[in-house]
């Protein structure tokens, strides 16, 4: 895929890619595949094999987990609504474990996909880029874990009341 200058300038705002140089963004872009999804499309499905990371170029998605329906449950738990510059699938790219959540397009969505095969090529041919990208993934996952910890703290407070 050819990466245009607009992508490079927008990518600087992405938490995943903010530390990359323009040259590294061009290399990364050459390893990613573009896709377009319509509103209502399932982009990734919980419990299916995972082997890729998706960077949202345009549009918004809902990330949710399917739950066991109960008397107070609708069978889904919304985890996040994310959009342009954010990413999904980071864990699957690193560990290859089945998807932990479902991702649904709530707008028309454009993404760039980095597969585990492309990530391996990057590690072999561009190790510094792979390190920077992996550190970006760690920053994102750390931020999400901190948010979960805060939520759990809030829940524990209310349970103790």
pLDDT tens figures, 97-137? 899 999 999 999 999 999 999 999 999 999 999 999 999 88
150 Cβ neighbours under 8 A, 6+ residues apart: none
pLDDT single digits (tens) 126-159 = 999 999 999 988 888 888 788 777 777 766 667 7
Architecture of the structural domain at 5-160: Sandwich (2.60)
The per-residue pLDDT for 105 is 98
The residue extents of the domains of the chain are 5-160
% the chain with pLDDT above 70: 85
Rounded distance, CA 64 to CA 13, Å? 24
Phi, psi angle pair for 4, to nearest 5°: -90, 165
pLDDT band at 40 (very low <50, low <70, confident <90, very high): very high
> Does 69 or 79 have the greater pLDDT score?
79
The per-residue pLDDT for 144 is 74
State the average pLDDT over residues 45-59. 92
Rounded distance, CA 73 to CA 65, Å? 12
């Amino acid at each position: 895929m050819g990466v245009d200058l607009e992508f490079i300038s927008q990518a600087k705002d992405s938490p995943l890619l903010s530390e990359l140089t323009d040259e590294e963004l061009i290399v990364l872009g050459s390893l990613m595949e573009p896709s377009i999804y319509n509103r209502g499309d399932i982009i990734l499905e919980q419990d299916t094999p995972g082997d890729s990371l998706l960077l949202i170029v345009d549009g918004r998605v809902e990330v949710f987990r399917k739950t066991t329906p109960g008397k107070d449950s609708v069978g889904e738990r919304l985890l996040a609504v994310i959009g342009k510059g954010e990413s999904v699938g980071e864990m699957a790219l690193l560990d290859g474990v089945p998807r932990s959540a479902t991702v649904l397009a709530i707008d028309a969505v454009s993404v760039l996909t980095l597969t585990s095969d492309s990530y391996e090529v990057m590690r072999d041919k561009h190790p510094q880029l792979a390190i920077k990208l992996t550190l970006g993934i760690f920053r994102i996952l750390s931020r999400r874990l901190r948010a979960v910890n805060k939520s759990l703290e809030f829940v524990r407070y209310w349970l103790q009341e």
